[in-house]
């Protein structure tokens, strides 16, 4: 099933110059970028994005961190992309992430784990709507699609 997901490269990914390395993995997998924007997240938007963590001990630090510098917000499309991307990202704690995953190859600590990806179709829909307007989402066909999908 072709679906869309929200992906965010966090401030540590931007500062470390890993944008190209991470995006190239998604493209090499055959996923299609639908929207991208580099932005500094306002505190209120960060709090809405991470609302499920409000009240947890790490919440204030998470909000301070995610608003500390630019992030790259993206929407990607592909077959079963939510599940596949979560596997490609690796476990939240990079020390537990398998080699070959984004976090397993590039990250050191949970609080600096480079990337966020939606964990369900419902989360993807909510997160995409938080960061993008409908007119920012591109709908197009790639000529390589028949070589990726039956």
105-108 long-range contacts (CB < 8 A, ≥24 apart) are 106/13, 106/16, 106/18, 106/21, 106/22, 107/12
Contact partners, residue 123, CB within 8 Å, separation at least 6: 6
How distant, in Å, are the alpha carbons of 13, 90, 103 from that of 114? 5, 11, 7
53 is catalytic: no
Using the structure block, give the residue that is written with the tokens 């917000």.
73
Of 31, 116, 131, 132, the catalytic one is 116
- Active-site annotation, residues: 116
């Amino acid at each position: 099933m072709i679906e869309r997901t929200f992906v965010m490269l966090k401030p540590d990914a931007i500062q470390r110059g890993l944008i190209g390395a991470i995006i190239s993995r998604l493209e090499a997998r055959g996923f299609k970028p639908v929207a991208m924007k580099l932005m500094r997240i306002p505190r209120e938007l960060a709090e809405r994005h991470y609302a499920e963590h409000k009240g947890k001990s790490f919440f204030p630090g998470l909000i301070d961190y995610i608003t500390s510098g630019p992030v790259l917000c993206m929407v990607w499309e592909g077959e079963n992309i939510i599940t596949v991307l979560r596997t490609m990202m690796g476990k939240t704690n990079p020390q537990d992430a398998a080699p070959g995953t984004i976090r397993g190859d590039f990250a050191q600590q949970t609080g600096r784990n480079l990337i966020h990806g939606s964990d369900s179709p419902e989360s993807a829909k909510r997160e995409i709507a938080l960061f993008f307007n409908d007119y920012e989402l591109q709908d197009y066909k790639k000529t390589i699609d028949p070589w990726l999908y039956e």
